[in-house]
Structure 1
Amino acid sequence: MYIESGASRESMKNSILFMPTNGAGLGHLTRTLAIARRIRKIDPNREIIFFTTSPAINLILQEGFLAYYIPSKMFFPDYIWSNQWNELLEKQLKLILQLHQPKTFVYDGAFVYYGVMAATEGITSLKRVWVKRKQNKPEKDVETKSKENFFHHIIIPGEYQINLDSQAEIKYHYCNPVIYLDKSELLSKDEVKEILKIPNEYKLVYIQLGAGNINDIESTLSILLSILENRKDLYFVLGESIITSNRIEISIERLLTLKDYPNSRYYNAFDLTISAAGYNTFFELMHFGVPSIFIPNEKTKSDDQVARSMVAEKAKAAIVLRNPNYQELENAIDNVLNLSNNMIIRNNTQKLNIQNGAEDIAKLILKL
């Protein structure tokens, strides 16, 4: 149970507890960090705590937030059952709630664990908020619909520009995609080339085909690198997730691997990005105006990357290739790297008018 209020604990009464879960990538963690950063900017004295199942807890600590960690069930041995793991989660979360007595609990995950519900139910002073990105494949929405009733508010980052309704009495709040960095935080092209030790005469191509935990990217990547290697004016940067367990070992002249967070801070430097169309990456690339070729991952459980990327292609803000062969990839690369085409595509990304929803969500949470 919560500790009774007292003068010595009054400063903790408005604290916010974020709980991003682990996923194939860093979407849940990135989203909550983006929101927490904006809350801290608006209200520097607000206590913000994290409790996560993501192994990338170091990213939270780097931002200066206090963080607690419990490994996902997948990291435990088989003899630990799901109900045992949930009991462990419940006990740890209850202790955190007792220590910090937050007024707001912000959960970001595709699935709500029993341990989360058991630990937070019955605390009348705790406002429960679920940041729940809308899934594109509707059959997957049905599985989590009943869990929404447990939360006081559902915040749904959408696909494109949406005006957030900030009325606290409304349960469902739709908003723009959440983007981690502000445009002012990106490095310049000269800064990136200096950091990565890339000579000025090269054009830069960034490759990010998805989180290695889901995608089988080797065949497409092999074709892609063969094409790029034949062009002597290019230097290519292969983005690698910091949580992937299988490093891609490639030794090619004019290629380097970038394993950093967030990689988006380098986006100003790239003349072309060849990428999957995952939610965070897609909207960051379009928001920051990077000419892109999207190769959507069609094997995700619930995320319709094809539909998302086709909106950009329709706006002539990107090229979309599905299961491309050598010639299709080569033609698309030549097309985007053409100087006049490159500028047209870059300008068209801004016509999509993708706004950052992070600050709107931060203001809403503070209003709650």
Structure 2
Amino acid sequence: MFKPLHLDVVIAADPRRDGGGAEALAAIVPWLAAQDRRVTLLPVLSPLVQLAPRVDPRIADLVDDGRLTWFCTSRPAVARLGIGLHLSPFLGEADKAVRLRSDRAVLLVDQSWHTARHHAVCPFHVICDRASRMLGALPALVPLARDIHLPSASDETVVPCTPDDRGPVWAAALQHLLRQVPPPERKPILNRGSLVAPARILMLSPNGIGMGHLTRQLAIARHLPPEVEPVFIGMSRAVGLVERFGFRAEYAPGPHALGVDKDRWTDDFSRRLIDAMGFYDARALVFDGNFPYHALRRLRAEVDNRTMIWLRRGLWRPNAGREALERSPIFDLVIEPTDFAGEMDAGPTRARSDAVPVPPIILLDPSEHLSRDEARRALGLPKEATAVLVQLGSGNNFDMATVARHCLDMLAGYSDVHVRVVQWLIAEDEDDLCAAYDHRMRRLRGYPLARFLDAFDFAVSAAGYNSFHELLTARLPTIFVPNEHPLMDEQETRALFAERLGAGFFVRAGDPGRLHWALTKLLDRGERDLARRRAGSLSEPSGAARAASMIALHALSIVAHRGAARFPRHLARW
């Protein structure tokens, strides 16, 4: 049996974007920290907040700087003080038990009861009962402001306080309670020999043409808090790469790899997903792909008490994906990693309001790149050479080998130029294009290659989501050659954006003359310096951290919708 975790102050609140609620939480936590109290957040998703999937930025900042930590629901805990912030976390029955016992508890009331929007749909005694069970003690009642009238209650339930005109009511009330419950003598660390089971999530990715889906999920996983453990289920042979980053992975081949028809595969894969959700006790599933499988619809029907999230990047081709978008309702949340070229997006996702946008997502922060000298030593590149990176994708659905050969043929004529041609780990064609050239032209394999970007002077690249954003973020002048297969995203738009920005050139695969011209331009140092300055106008991507924050919210939260009255949309805050 686990010994309880000893905590100081636990606040049960809905941390999503919620006007006054976030404002109150953002005020109370620093105030408590100033009293030398350690604060833990027990996140509760309330039925009163219908359409706000994100953590309020002010609350996210408190988590980032360590003044607020997540409550781990897998462990019993004892707190000196339990605080219920507002009535909204207690309007519905929690979807799982909270093993928390508090020495004292208080319920901070944000609205006069008889004028509150939730008065008609939830009796006050029910709210008090739920708050008592969640906080582990009968809560006293305190108004957040002087003009809030509490429900009828005995004197014993209200915290005695005499607020003055200089501060809020809650501050005086909490000050009174804190004097009664001194902080623990030791930090809230685990007892020796005890374990904490993190909240697990499944990260599902298809067998894409490249490795973009898997890479985006890995980028997010690296930003998840330690209380959340991702388990990767991937259809790509490359899924095992995530183990290098310390994550668990399962290979789940698709119908083509197994040699079975889609109906048979759908039946088997549906059962595998359902079993995986149960085996790992996953709180959420995150799917990054262009088309939600029928197996996901079956999963939704089987595990409707778990969160399903679609990570859906934009820049779809104008007439593509209608059927895929019709399956959006099976997801509780759609997160859209935005695109540097998003202003030019003419696809069907642009007009939709069902997605929550986050900044672009990349795997490695530029601070994680090797220095220029370190990267050149690792790649065997001379210090003074002009180094060119050629990364044109896997070539599994669009012939880029001809483009690579054109690059090698031209650049081989410059004695001070060294080229590294990337061979994708999932490429079906394993021919070494560099074998016909001298030592200056070599094949490059590995993952993640972004750590070597500072070694190069310019690049020739496909315009897939990850490569495009990595190269522009690294300010590496690039000739973008889009993969124009009709099932791909609209890479031509990204290439055109880079050219209009002045950070690169747009060259089609079938235009060797323009490719020769663009290579000549970037062999000039002055042209490269100009392109770097233009790329510097773009903001650095922070989407991985934002998306991780949203996903962690759903994985760690108590969902208090069960048994809740359905709130009319005009009564809900969002």
Q: Residues 219 and 136 from structure 1, CA distance in 2 versus in 1: closer, same or farther, beyond 3 angstroms?
A: same
Residue 121 of structure 1 aligns to which amino acid in structure 2?
Answer: A
Deviations 1:63-107 (A, max 9, x none): 111122211111122xx2211111111122122111111111111
2:218 is equivalent to residue 33 of structure 1: yes
Q: Distance in 2 between matches of 1:354 and 1:160?
A: 10
Q: Distance in 1 between matches of 2:490 and 2:531?
A: 23
Q: CA deviation at 1:154?
A: 0.6
Q: Residues 151 and 277 from structure 1, CA distance in 2 versus in 1: closer, same or farther, beyond 3 angstroms?
A: same
Task: Give the 5 Å matches for 1:150-299.
Answer: 150-160=330-340, 171-250=354-433, 251=435, 252-253=437-438, 254-299=440-485
Equivalent in 64, 72, 76 of residue 254 of structure 2: 72
Q: CA deviation at 1:6?
A: 11
Q: Distance in 1 between matches of 2:207 and 2:451?
A: 23
Residue 243 of structure 1 aligns to which amino acid in structure 2?
Answer: I
Deviations 1:282-308 (A, max 9, x none): 111001111111122222414111111
Q: CA deviation at 1:13?
A: 7.0
User: Paired residue for 1:44?
Assistant: 226
Structure index of larger Rg = 2
Q: CA deviation at 1:314?
A: 0.7
User: Paired residue for 2:527?
Assistant: 341
Q: CA deviation at 1:32?
A: 0.5
Q: Distance in 2 between matches of 1:28 and 1:127?
A: 19
Q: CA deviation at 1:36?
A: 0.6
Deviations 1:256-283 (A, max 9, x none): 1111111111111110101111111111
User: Paired residue for 1:308?
Assistant: 494
User: Paired residue for 1:165?
Assistant: none
Q: CA deviation at 1:226?
A: 0.9
Identical residues among aligned pairs (%): 29
More helix by share: 1
Residue 311 of structure 2 aligns to which amino acid in structure 1?
Answer: V
Q: Residues 151 and 326 from structure 1, CA distance in 2 versus in 1: closer, same or farther, beyond 3 angstroms?
A: closer
Q: Distance in 1 between matches of 2:443 and 2:482?
A: 21
Q: CA deviation at 1:223?
A: 1.8
Q: Distance in 2 between matches of 1:178 and 1:70?
A: 25
Q: Residues 55 and 45 from structure 1, CA distance in 2 versus in 1: closer, same or farther, beyond 3 angstroms?
A: same
- 3-state SS of paired residue (2:364): coil
- 3-state SS of paired residue (1:138): coil
Equivalent in 105, 113, 128 of residue 285 of structure 2: 105
Q: CA deviation at 1:54?
A: 1.5
Residue 219 of structure 2 aligns to which amino acid in structure 1?
Answer: A
Q: Residues 326 and 230 from structure 1, CA distance in 2 versus in 1: closer, same or farther, beyond 3 angstroms?
A: farther
Q: Residues 231 and 325 from structure 1, CA distance in 2 versus in 1: closer, same or farther, beyond 3 angstroms?
A: farther
User: Paired residue for 1:147?
Assistant: 327
2:204 is equivalent to residue 24 of structure 1: no
Q: Distance in 1 between matches of 2:508 and 2:205?
A: 31
Please report the RMSD computed on the Cα atoms of aligned residues, expressed in angstroms: 2.1
2:237 is equivalent to residue 55 of structure 1: yes
CA contact (8 A) 2:400 2:509 kept: no
- 3-state SS of paired residue (1:56): helix
Q: Residues 299 and 161 from structure 1, CA distance in 2 versus in 1: closer, same or farther, beyond 3 angstroms?
A: closer
User: Paired residue for 2:102?
Assistant: none
Q: CA deviation at 1:121?
A: 2.4
CA contact (8 A) 1:108 1:130 kept: yes
Q: Distance in 2 between matches of 1:140 and 1:161?
A: 18
CA contact (8 A) 1:289 1:349 kept: yes
Residue 149 of structure 1 aligns to which amino acid in structure 2?
Answer: P
Q: Distance in 2 between matches of 1:6 and 1:54?
A: 38
Q: Distance in 1 between matches of 2:462 and 2:294?
A: 32
Q: Distance in 1 between matches of 2:517 and 2:295?
A: 51
Deviations 1:112-140 (A, max 9, x none): 11223213424233011010112431211
For structure 2, the residue ranges without an aligned partner over 5 or more in a row are 1-95, 100-194, 343-352, 555-574
Q: Distance in 1 between matches of 2:495 and 2:354?
A: 30
How many residues are paired up?
351
For structure 1, the residue ranges without an aligned partner over 5 or more in a row are 163-169
Q: CA deviation at 1:171?
A: 5.0
Q: Residues 122 and 76 from structure 1, CA distance in 2 versus in 1: closer, same or farther, beyond 3 angstroms?
A: closer
Equivalent in 280, 305, 318 of residue 125 of structure 1: 305
- 3-state SS of paired residue (1:236): strand
Q: CA deviation at 1:38?
A: 0.6
Task: Out of 223-232 and 53-62, give the one that drifted further.
Answer: 53-62
